[in-house]
Amino acid sequence: MAEDQQLMCSDCGQAFTFTAEDQEFFRERGYSSPKRCKPCRQAKKNEQSGGGGGYSRGTSQGTSVICAGCGQQTTVPFEPRGDRPVYCQNCFQARKTSAGGGGNRRGGGGGFGGGRGR
């Protein structure tokens, strides 16, 4: 079995031990030797994770807005453009339900063209 190795982390520059057990684990899976220590690997993993699409609810940086439906202050996970109303979660769900679950669909004519209003 291999012996422990001392490696340098490419992120923080600290020396870390690549244990014989970890070497075996990496070799079995076809991984190359790590370039980062465990804390830096975990930080990098957390930075890149968040489920599909890169959206993470845990560290949401929202924008504070006033709901166009009820007038209460709320936070939304996007930067409003200003050309459309923004709703809190409750008002959004109520509008979505009353619209038959359809509402405006992506690519479904968001009020531009379409022959209306001529």
List the beta bridge partners of residue 74.
65
Which of 7-21, 40-54, 72-86, 102-116 is least confident?
102-116
The arithmetic mean of pLDDT across residues 104-111, rounded, is 48
Cα–Cα distance between 37 and 54 in angstroms, integer? 24
Tell me the residue range of the domain where 90 lies. Answer: 63-98
Mean pLDDT (whole number) for 75-95: 87
Confidence category of residue 18, pLDDT binned at 50, 70, 90: very high
In a domain, 107, yes or no: no
| pTM for the predicted model, two decimal places | 0.40
Higher-confidence residue of 59 and 49: namely: 49
Per-residue pLDDT band at 77 (split at 50, 70, 90):
confident
User: Rounded to whole angstroms, what are the CA distances from 97 to 71, 86, 94, 100, 101?
Assistant: 20, 16, 5, 5, 5
In this structure, the answer to whether residues 45 and 67 fall within a common structural domain is: no
82-88 mean pLDDT:
89
Same domain, residue pair 9 and 44: yes
| Total structural domains within the chain | 2
- What is the share, in percent, of the chain residues with pLDDT greater than 70? 72
- Cβ-Cβ contacts under 8 Å for 2 (sequence gap 6 or more): 20, 23, 24
Asked whether residue 79 is domain-assigned, the answer is yes
Give the model's confidence band at 111: pLDDT under 50 very low, under 70 low, under 90 confident, else very high: very low
Please check whether residues 70 and 41 belong to one and the same domain: no
